[in-house]
Amino acid sequence: MNLTASKKVQKLTASIFQEVAVLKRKALNRGLDVIDLSVGSPDLPPPAFVVEELVKYASDTANYGYTLKGIPEFHEAVSFFYKQRYAADIDSEHEVLQLMGSQDGLAHLATAIINPGDYVLVPDPGYPIYEASVTIAGGVLFPLPLLAENNFLPVLDDIPLPILEKTKMMILSYPGNPVPVLADSSFFEEVVHFAKRHNILVVHDFAYSELIFDNNPQISFISVPGAKEVGIEFNSLSKTFNLAGCRIGYAVGNEQALNILGMFKSQIDYGVFYPIQKAATAALTSDYTLLQEQVKEYEFRRDTLMAGLEKSGWKLSKSPATMFLWAKIPAGWKSRQFAFELINNTGVAVIPGDAFGKQGEGYVRIALVQPAERLSEAAERIHKFLAKPK
């Protein structure tokens, strides 16, 4: 049998995470001690009470049937969480859609909304699923450059009117991945007016909503007046409560958009495991003590790694949010060359910035997913790596 991928799949590029995984395996096989700072998978445990809730309901064999959709308690918990954390009013019955993680929704939204030839505005650099989902749907990508001189915010006035006339959707993410920066209320207000003027659906990826440092404000796009008229926001329990493997998240906001995505999702899955929904409900309605402790831990890790790297003369911008540093690499390197030689020579794995778009060249993304002592060790290895002649 001779099979070839569909034309849509052939347009996709190989996952950078798979490429780096191969390099990690080769490094391990050579006996290197690998410090994996590539994938944003939390190394911290979920709260004990959440695990207890999961175990309790998983012990009941009556809970192993299809759920088909989110249970009412989960939807109410999302509404409660948004009110408590972002002062946003969410109708639990009509403005919440449960998902198998935020990536699940982001991966399927374009297919549910976009027709071939429709334009979608995507951040560059941006998380790879944004581009991949539009490509699979047959849409046309229009990159929004995120540049340091613009505080990594897109300049909406730079988008040509002929493009806007064909645009159906725009994807944003603040705090972002891979660029871990924040947007303020005035920018989100500008986005709302822009979307209304051009009849564009705004899709905001808010997966790092609870990893915001240095007492910076937490601003949900959906909390901005008028946002629910033009947009939806994706969020997840993966990073917030360290439940990445449980695959549970949600979207909130515009009822019409959520209904369309929900209808599409009803054709391809049968809902999230009931015990996971109950555990997630407990997490969302807790006292949030864990979230405060977690922010302090990631701040400490960020500061530890930055201090170590700056000893090598590598000056970095201080990340105000997320579990990543977006690091401009030393002069004379290309992103992939730097990342691939780093793991081959030192065992420290990072992701090259160009994997996230053209504007990512010259950067690497470093995940703070190891204890502080391992981050110090990574910084020491990088120091020795940079001290060697190229």
Q: What is the pLDDT of residue 388?
A: 81
**What is the CB-side half-sphere exposure of residue 116 using CA atoms within 13 A?**
3
* Confidence band of 134 (pLDDT split at 50, 70, 90): very high
Mean pLDDT of the chain: 96
**What is the CB-side half-sphere exposure of residue 165 using CA atoms within 13 A?**
3
pLDDT in tens, 278-287: 999 999 999 9
Q: What is the pLDDT of residue 147?
A: 97
CA dihedral in degrees (196, 202, 208, 210; nearest 10)? 40
pLDDT in tens, 329-338: 998 999 999 9
Q: How far is CA 39 from CA 289, 324, 367, in A?
A: 26, 10, 7
Averaged pLDDT, 57-63: 98
Q: What is the rounded distance in angstroms from the CA atom of residue 52 to the CA atom of residue 45? A: 13
Q: What is the rounded distance in angstroms from the CA atom of residue 84 to the CA atom of residue 248? A: 20
**Every domain range in the chain assigned CATH 3.90.1150.10:** 7-45+289-385
* Confidence band of 320 (pLDDT split at 50, 70, 90): very high
Cβ atoms 375, 193 nearer than 8 A: no
Cα dihedral across residues 270, 276, 282, 285: positive or negative: negative
Class of domain 65-284: alpha beta
pTM (two decimals): 0.96
Phi and psi torsions of 47, nearest 5°: -60, 145
pLDDT in tens, 19-30: 888 999 999 999
pLDDT in tens, 205-261: 999 999 999 999 999 999 999 999 999 999 999 999 999 999 999 999 999 999 999
For residue 65, the tally of other CB atoms under 10 A from its CB is 11
Q: What is the pLDDT of residue 390?
A: 66
Q: What is the 3-state secondary structure (H, E, C) of the chain?
A: CCCCCCHHHHCCCCCHHHHHHHHHHHHHHCCCCCEECCCCCCCCCCCHHHHHHHHHHHCCHHHCCCCCCCCHHHHHHHHHHHHHHHCCCCCCCCCEEEECCHHHHHHHHHHHHCCCCCEEEEEECCCHHHHHHHHHHCCEEEEEECCHHHCCCCCHHHCCHHHHCCEEEEEECCCCCCCCCCCCHHHHHHHHHHHHHHCCEEEEECCCCCCECCCCCCCCHHHCCCHHHHEEEEEECCCCCCCHHHCCEEEEECHHHHHHHHHHHCCCCCCCCHHHHHHHHHHHCCCCHHHHHHHHHHHHHHHHHHHHHHCCCCCCCCCCECCEEEEECCCCCCHHHHHHHHHHHHCEECEEHHHHCHHHCCEEEEECCCCHHHHHHHHHHHHHHHHCCC
Class of domain 7-45+289-385: alpha beta
Question: Of 161 and 314, which is predicted with more confidence?
Answer: 161
Pairing of strands 324-328, 363-367: antiparallel
Averaged pLDDT, 72-101: 98
Q: What is the pLDDT of residue 16?
A: 85
**Every domain range in the chain assigned CATH 3.40.640.10:** 65-284
Judge whether residue 201 has pLDDT over 70.
yes
Q: What is the rounded distance in angstroms from the CA atom of residue 249 to the CA atom of residue 237? A: 6
Q: How far is CA 10 from CA 4, 36, 95, 135, 250, in A?
A: 9, 29, 36, 10, 30
Q: How many residues does the chain have?
A: 390
